Amino acid sequence: MIWLNWDIRTRVLLVALVPTAVLGILLTILLTFSRLHDVEDALVQRGQALARQLASASEFGLFSGNTDALAQLASSALTNSDLQGVSIFDRDHKLVAVAGLQTHAAGVVDSVSRIEQVGSNMLRIAEPVRYTPTTDEDLYTLTSDDQRAAPPSSLGEIVVLLSLEPLQSRKRSQMLAAIGTLLIVLAATAALAALMSRSVSQPIRHIARAVTDIGRGRLDVSVPVIGGGSLRQLAEGLNDMAQRLKLSREGLEQQVSGATSELRERKEEAERANLAKSRFLAAASHDLRQPMHALGLFIAELADKPHNDDTRMLIERISASAEAMENLLDSLLDISKLDAGVVTANPRPFALGPLFERIASEYQHAAQDKGLILRVRPSAYWIDSDPLLFERILLNLVTNALRYTPRGAVMVTARKRGTRIHIEVRDSGIGIPQEAQDSVFQEFVQLDNAARDRSKGLGLGLAIVRRLAELLGHHITLTSLPDRGSIFSVEVRAARPIENKAKDERAGVDLVGLIVAIVDDDALAMESLAGLLRAWGCYVVSGESLHALQHALADNDVAPQVLISDFRLPGPHNGLEVIAALRQQFGPGLPGLLLSGDTGPEVLRQATDLGIPLLHKPVRPAKLRAAISHLAVSHLADVRANSDAHTGDSATA
């Protein structure tokens, strides 16, 4: 409704004005019509009185037939300004006298007057002329000679025409007077209503404006106290409230300022503690990874030597323990790299078939050791994703399924739904309750490993899966029932098959005779790495710094084919600077590999920007051999290309 949007002043004005105006209009109309009716009745009564007077005066003339007297009577009656005509008729309705306007006989009944309106401005009044007997009965006594009858009771009628113009004039005057009076009353009412609305609405408007200012934070407002009663109490209460709010805000601001200062101090203290913790963890991680790196390389070198059964079993147990520690460090490193945002995805179309074949080959033995059935359905689908990162997602899901399935089977399959491929890992394991299905993707959450049994994993596999899926833009769903098993599904966009002519990057090359230069300030790590490389048939030249390596290369008179450097080194140069310096000395195509125990994202960013592969310690021997093989193959390809180019130039010359 529109009136709901009106302000208080308009509402008060209407409340004061409308009832008074309606009452004034009704009373004016009622009084005016009553007055007009009275004026009209007075005119009619006056006309009837004139007609009766004329009827009484013309009785003798009609009785005696004196038309002259009747004509004189009619003419004398026209002296009244309201009369427009007088007509006298006998009992046979014959006109015997007329003055002014003439009209026909009305034909009235005895003792009954008739009033009719003629046209719009004339009123016709007919009055009968009745016989009035006297005491002189001799005048009417019948004689036997002439046999005269008694006079009739009606001698005729008088018809007068009365003008309504004075009545209309009186009505117009009355109407104008009523309208003028009504306008005066309405004006006075409006003025009074405006005064009343202002006296009521002005304090309310002051209060509303003050409330708005208080809502905007201006607490120094004050409402003028006007009038009395409830409005005065409201204004005084609002002023008191504003003052109290002002005092409360000042106190609150002081408390907030104090709390903010304290919070800032605690934040700075926490940042200092976090920085110290980060430095400690970085140093501890580096110091821990160095011996783990050396230990892994020594174990690999030791495993290549001949041993009896007891010694080999002991070496395998030592290797398993070292591998468990390396798995923990690698998982923590993966989590930190994903959180730091230094891992970039390189999606491209690739086939699921080879990946499924590798999973079936690599995990079949682990499934058989647990008495499980591993079913990997062949797939001809192609998907659009990063091959390495997606393989890590699928391997973690399969590992998790095998770990938490005590009996039954684990199945890996792919289903196509529209333009999407759903890769599912199904198991018949212990299942996951509904309330815990979100928490299993968090770090170090293991629902069935309260004792933290290392053989059941570390609780990082699904956390890595979630982060990798978010990085790749894949949707992961989990459907599970306790004691019934679980289904992990990864939704990936389907891709069109393309011809793949690339060679298998996993294939290694023979490292016998490869000249490898090593820079590492940790003697134990450098000795273990050199021993492993020599066991692979490499020619190794090492040094604890850039200058030491340069002297060693000069003494041996060799040029390195692959350079392996630790990131942290004594002196002014780090590993990246060492690789850059040796590339200036031996050519920009010298393959370089960076090793580091630092897990911070800045080291990975620097290496990625320079295009230098980085391996975090501890490095597994197989991963190290694959990296060296890849660098050697790339270097040999570049050398052959340059050689072919020089041969072509010579032939042209």
Quickly count: other Cβ atoms within 10 Å of residue 330's Cβ.
18
* % the chain with pLDDT above 70: 76
Mean pLDDT of 478-483: 86
Residue with tokens 């009343």: 196
Q: Do residues 460 and 362 share a domain?
A: yes
DSSP secondary structure string, 395-457?
HHHHHHHHHT-SSSEEEEEEEEETTEEEEEEEE-SS---GGGTTGGGSTT--TT-TT--GGG-
The total domain count for the chain is 3
Ranges 262-276, 492-506, 610-624: which has the least confidence: 492-506
Whether 578 and 565 have beta carbons less than 8 Å apart is answered as: yes
- The CATH number for 557's domain is 3.40.50.2300
> Is residue 287 one of the residues assigned to a domain?
no
> Is residue 269 one of the residues assigned to a domain?
no
Q: Do residues 33 and 163 share a domain?
A: yes
Mean pLDDT of 353-374: 88
> Is residue 470 one of the residues assigned to a domain?
yes
- The CATH number for 404's domain is 3.30.565.10
- The CATH number for 20's domain is 3.30.450.20
Of 461 and 99, the structure prediction assigns the larger pLDDT to 99
DSSP H or E stretch at residue 25: helix 8-57
Q: Indicate the average pLDDT of the chain.
A: 77
Q: Do residues 553 and 463 share a domain?
A: no
Mean pLDDT of 519-534: 85
Answer whether residue 141 shows pLDDT above 60: no
Q: Do residues 581 and 437 share a domain?
A: no
Q: Do residues 475 and 558 share a domain?
A: no
Q: Do residues 546 and 615 share a domain?
A: yes
Q: Do residues 15 and 96 share a domain?
A: yes
Q: Do residues 52 and 21 share a domain?
A: yes
Q: Do residues 533 and 587 share a domain?
A: yes
> Is residue 462 one of the residues assigned to a domain?
yes
> Is residue 641 one of the residues assigned to a domain?
yes
Answer whether residue 577 shows pLDDT above 70: yes
> Is residue 320 one of the residues assigned to a domain?
no
> Is residue 112 one of the residues assigned to a domain?
yes
Mean pLDDT of 242-249: 79
Q: How confident is the model at residue 503 (pLDDT cuts 50, 70, 90)?
A: very low
Of 82 and 269, the structure prediction assigns the larger pLDDT to 269
Q: Do residues 630 and 546 share a domain?
A: yes
* % the chain with pLDDT above 90: 9
Q: Do residues 160 and 88 share a domain?
A: yes
pLDDT value for 404: 86
Degrees (nearest 5) of the Cα angle 225, 228, 232? 45
Q: pLDDT tens across 87-130, in order?
A: 888 888 888 888 888 777 666 555 567 787 777 778 888 888 88
pLDDT value for 493: 92
Beta partners for residue 411, in sequence order: 375, 426
pLDDT value for 422: 93
Answer whether residue 450 shows pLDDT above 50: no
Dist CA 456 CA 463 (whole Å): 15
Task: Give the domain range for residue 546.
Answer: 515-645
Answer whether residue 251 shows pLDDT above 60: yes
- Bridge-based pairing state of the strands 562-566 and 515-519: parallel
> Is residue 325 one of the residues assigned to a domain?
no
Q: Do residues 456 and 604 share a domain?
A: no
Answer whether residue 451 shows pLDDT above 50: no
